Structures are given as C-alpha cells and as structure tokens.
Chain A
Amino acid sequence: MVIENNNSNEARERKIKFTHYLWALIKEPYVFVAVLFLIILIFAAIFADLIVAYDPLRPNILSARLTPFSESKGMGGVANFHLLGTDALGRDMLTRLIYGARVSVSVGVLAVTIAGTIGTILGLIAGYYGRMTESIIMRTVDGFMAIPSLFIALFVLFVLGGGLLNMILILAFVRWVVFTRLVRGITISLKETSFIEAARAIGASDSRIIFKHILPHLISPLLVLATLEVALLILAEAGLSFLGLGLEPPQPSWGLMVARGREYIREAPWMIILPGLSIFLTTLSLNLVANWLRTITDPVQRWRWLI
C-alpha cells in the first residue's frame, strides 16, 4: 500500500519503539510493579516443578498447620523451612500457592485465548458481512449477555462435572460473546471509513481487507479486553472452585484453598488469607495493566506517555 506508507501518521507511528513503551512503563511505578508481579507469576506457573522444594499433594500430618516462617522436621532430621506455613494436611503453603498459580493462569489464559479467537472471528464475520449472518450471531450474543455467565457456567459444570479442561472450555463458551460484541462494533465503524473504501476500490479481496486493514485496528482494544477478561475468569474460576464445581480437592487451586481454609479461620487464618491474597494481587495487577494498556495504545492520549 503505497498510499499508506506515505501517510505522515504512519511515519510517526514508526518512531515509537519498544524502548518507548519500556520507558513509559518505568514512569508508572504501580504498573511497573504489576507487570513485574505478573511476569514472576507466569514464570512460577510454568516452571513450578523446577523451583519448588516440596510435594504439593502429599500430606504430612506431623507438620500440619505450622505458622508462617516456621520449620518442620523432615526426613533424616533435616529441618524444612516453611516461609508461608503449612495447611491442615501439613503441605507447604508456598508450594501449593505456586501450583495454584499454574491452575489460575492456565484457566485464565487458555479460556480467554479460545473465547477471544472464536469471538473475534464471529465478530469480524458479523461486522463485515452483515445481513442474515449478523443478525443470527448478534441475537445469540444478546441472549448470552442477558443471562449472567456465571449461572450458565455453574449449571453446565454441575451437570458435566468439574476438572481443569471442562472449566476452561465452559468459561470460554460463556465469554466469547464479549469479544464478538467489541469486534463487531469496531468492524462496522471501520467499514465506513475511506481507507477501507479505497482498499476495496483498488480491488483488494475481502480476506485482505479483513486481515491487513481491519485486524491491526483491533489488536489494542482486544489486548485490553483480553487482559480484563483474564482477571475476570480467574475470579470466576476461584468462585466456581469454591462451590466445589471446579477442580477436585487434592488439586491446589486458589479458590479451593480458600474453601478448605474456612474451617480453620480461627486457628490458622493464613490458610485462608494467603490464597485469597494471591487471587487479589493477580487480578489487581491485571486490571492495572489493562488500564495502562488502554491509555498507552489510545492514539489520542498516547503522546503524553510515550514522548
């Protein structure tokens, strides 16, 4: 596209490099800490097997309910240090929290990826082609939006049973509509613009217009929405697991750990405080990052941050 390359806007866009984003990130201390926390969390979730010293599943009654910063006698008289204490069955809290991060991160990221992909494709189809397909897709979306997605997820999980895979698929199934609605709205407004008209006038095919001209405009709003959705789905997973509809008990899920911890709320409050705090810090970081992404990718506002 010769016309586009000569555009002065495009030229200015080129100058914004990765280092600009990094600098903008350092200027916002909250967001910087949030990003750092998320990176550590994702790292811990992926490499949980390598960085953890204890077994997250095997109970050890002798070291049950130890307070944070205490030690237990391990095999051969070696003292085991428990930074965050142990739970009712003597399993190390930090270990279980790290494995819980794996569950939360995989549920959030995978469900949002599936929902985002399906939702974006359907939104593009609905927005670009219009007519009958659009009204069928959008009526379905309206139907999904009218009923709280947690009700649907709760009932379907109850009937089909929990487990990680079911949880991911069902959360994706109830949340694709959010992406469809966003993508369709943007696509419809873009379709009216002159640069799409110009592309069509010089004979660009539909797929070229969708992938080369519409999709780039969708990336930043989709990124913001996806970040918010990951936070929302981590909360949803915690709620459903708390109700006993998510993962099965020996699995270390944060929601499940809060549910277990409620029985020891007086004697061992760290058992309930720590997993909830982990969920809170994760979703708070995601929300902070989403807010930041929104301003940083907003063409009207971003000069303020990036220069």
Chain B
Amino acid sequence: MKKLFSNFLFRRFIGSLLMLFIVMSIVFIVGRQIGDPARMYLQMVGSEDDVRLVRERMGLEDPIHIQYKRFVRGMITLDFGDTFRFGASHPLMQRPKEHRGEADNLATLPLAADRLPATLFLCAVSIIFSVAVSIPLGMFAAMRPRTLGDKIINVLTLAGVSIVEYWFAFMLIIIFAVTLGWFPTSGYGTFSHVFLPAFALSLRAIGRITQLTRSSLLDELSKPYVRAARGRGIPVYRIAFIHVLRNASIPIVTTIGDETINILTGVIIIESVFAWPGIGALTVDALKLRDLPLIEATIFLLIVMVLLVNFTVDLMYYFLNPRANTTGK
C-alpha cells in the first residue's frame, strides 16, 4: 500500500513536470520563434537598428538550438532573463554584451514571485468562500428538489455561471464602494479590501459547485442504500451528511479543483480591476508593456499553480476512493 502510494505520487509528479516542460517549450516556440519579441516590444517606434540591438541583447540572433538550450537552462535555474521596463534595464539604454550579472537589472521571476503571496491570499479566500457557500446551498437544494427554494437556487446559480466576472466586479464597485461606501474601491491591505475581489471571483465557482453538488447528491440520494436507511427511520439530513456526501465527494472535489483553476485564470482580470498587487495585475501590466520575458515568468508561475492544483486533486481522489486503481492508466 505504502509503496503503491509513493509510486503513484512519483508518477504524477513526473507527469506534471513533463507537462510544464512541454507547455513552456510551446511558449518558447510561439513567443520567440513565431513572434518577434523585439519588434513586439518596440512596435512602430523602434528603428531597424533598435530592433537588432534588442534582439542581440536577448540572444535572439543565435541559432535556435542554442536559444532553446538557454531557455531550458533558464527554466531549470528559474531565470527567464531580465524584464524590459521594470527597473533600469531598458533594452535601448545598454550595450548588448553587458547585461549579464548587472546589479541594476531586474530578473523577471523574482519580480513575479514577489507578487505570489497576494494572489495566493486572494485565491484562498475566494475558494474557501465559494466552497463554504455552495456546498450547503447544493445540499439544501438537493434535499427538496423541484420546490420553490430549489428553483430559486437554480436560477441564481445559472445567473452566477453566466455573468462576466470583471463586469460584476465593476457593478460591485458601483454599488458597494461608490454609492454605499462600505468597502474601498481598490487596493490591498486590510480584510475589507479582499471582500469585493473575492466575491467577484467566487461567483462563478459558487454557481458551478452548487449545481454539481445538487445533481450528484440527487443521484446518490436515489440509490437503494439511502432508501434503506430512511426506512430504518434515520433522518434525511443525517444520511446526507454521513453517507451521501462522502460518496458524492469525488465529482464535487473534481469541480472544486476545476473552479480553483478558473479562479486562477480569473485573477488575471480581477486583480487589475481592483489594483490588487498580485501576479494577475502584473500579467496585465506586462501585456500592456509587451514585455515578453515578464509574461513568460508570470505564465510559468500561473501554470505551476494550475499543475499543483491538478496534482492535489489527484491526491484527493486517491484518499477519497479506496477502489481507485492507480497502478494502471
């Protein structure tokens, strides 16, 4: 059992690493080979000489296998090169050979990693909030199907799934920050700052998890063992909590995992709406500045987080479903 588990753990870990490697290789090919980062960065303002200077500085004039080798080495040593605009390392200010190891250059990955705690905090609050709201809501709906309460929950969850997150965020700002003045419009620091962005982020997750909790509990509640337990006079809510919720937990955990990943995607826009100093806002800044190394670094971190969530969900399966055959694919 123990050996089986460590084997499974190892296999999944290697799988995640491989996935990361493949995705980053695609990022390399799309970003540096199909596109031209120097031209992208300088847009119309740079002359041909400027573009060549930036390309030389980034090592884009080297043969492709050398560039790729450097990219892979950078990935292993967690170094995606220096950012274009943050700090003093503007590509046009420096001569090409000097940029390695200079003190005033800003490496992109530490810059992005600095933003990690804020993002993790926001995501954690959002996902805890949405799970705490949606599981009781889904159970409530499942235990009285086709009643008024169930219908109201159904419509509300459907609305939650259909809404545009960032638009809803602006509506929250209009109502709660501008009109009522209960919460600050944007910023970071106290708990009142986290409320609006977390609410905006968790809306869709609440919708999805509630819908799924309801339908998987309904499936489970129609099974013979539930009828048998009810026949013995055990109250419904007790059956629901003790037996049904555990048996229905696998699809629910899958959805929670999916929604965590959706929240990690949603963070990109929501953080910039609320000026939340996380990776998402940094990604949007980098997109605006067309700073490819920085975008690579933020995408790298976001994908690492996504893969970690997937990995955790796989682990949860292992513990929740004792029958799971993990030795074969």
Name A's B-contacting residues (CB within 8 A): 30, 143, 146-148, 150-151, 154-156, 158-160, 231, 235, 238-239, 242-245, 255, 258, 261-262, 265-266, 269, 272-273, 275-276, 279-280, 283-284, 286-288, 291
Contacts and interface: CB of A to CB of B under 8 A. Distances in A.
Given A158-B287, A159-B40, A265-B174, A147 B162 contact: no
Contacts of B168: 276
Interface residues of B, number: 43
Contacts, number: 104
B201 interface: no
A214 to B, nearest CB: 25
Interface stretch (B71-79, B244-252, B299-307): B299-307
B31 A243 contact: no
Nearest to A149: B265
29 contacts: A143-B19, A143-B22, A146-B307, A147-B19, A148-B306, A150-B268, A151-B306, A154-B268, A154-B287, A155-B27, A155-B30, A235-B164, A238-B167, A239-B164, A239-B165, A242-B166, A242-B269, A245-B287, A258-B164, A258-B167, A265-B174, A272-B170, A272-B174, A273-B171, A276-B171, A283-B161, A284-B158, A286-B162, A287-B158
Given A148-B262, A159-B34, A265-B174, A280 B19 contact: no
Q: Chain A contact residues: over half helix, strand or loop, or mixed?
A: helix
Contacts of A156: 30
A155 B299 contact: yes
Interface in B2-28: 19, 22-23, 27
B303 A147 contact: yes
Interface of B: 19, 22-23, 27, 30-31, 34-35, 40, 155, 158-159, 161-168, 170-171, 173-174, 178, 261-262, 264-265, 268-269, 273, 284, 287-288, 290, 295, 299, 302-303, 306-307, 310
A287 B303 contact: no
Given A158-B287, A160-B34, A291-B158, A239 B302 contact: no
A30 B156 CA distance: 13
A149 B272 CA distance: 20
B162 A287 contact: yes
Given A148-B264, A151-B302, A155-B295, A276 B170 contact: yes
Contacts of A273: 171, 174
Given A158-B295, A159-B40, A276 B31 contact: no
Nearest to A239: B269
A262 B27 contact: no
Contacts of B310: 146
A279 B164 contact: yes
Contacts of A283: 161-164
A147, A258, A261: most-surrounded residue (chain B CB, <10 A): A147
Contacts of B30: 155-156, 159
A245 B40 CA distance: 13
B163 A288 contact: no
B265 A280 contact: no
Contact of B287 (A244, A280, A286, A291): A244
A280 B167 CA distance: 9
B178 A148 contact: no
A38 B161 CA distance: 18
B164, B171, B299: most-surrounded residue (chain A CB, <10 A): B164
Given A155-B27, A262-B170, A280-B167, 9 more contacts: A143-B19, A147-B19, A150-B265, A154-B268, A231-B162, A244-B288, A258-B166, A258-B167, A279-B167
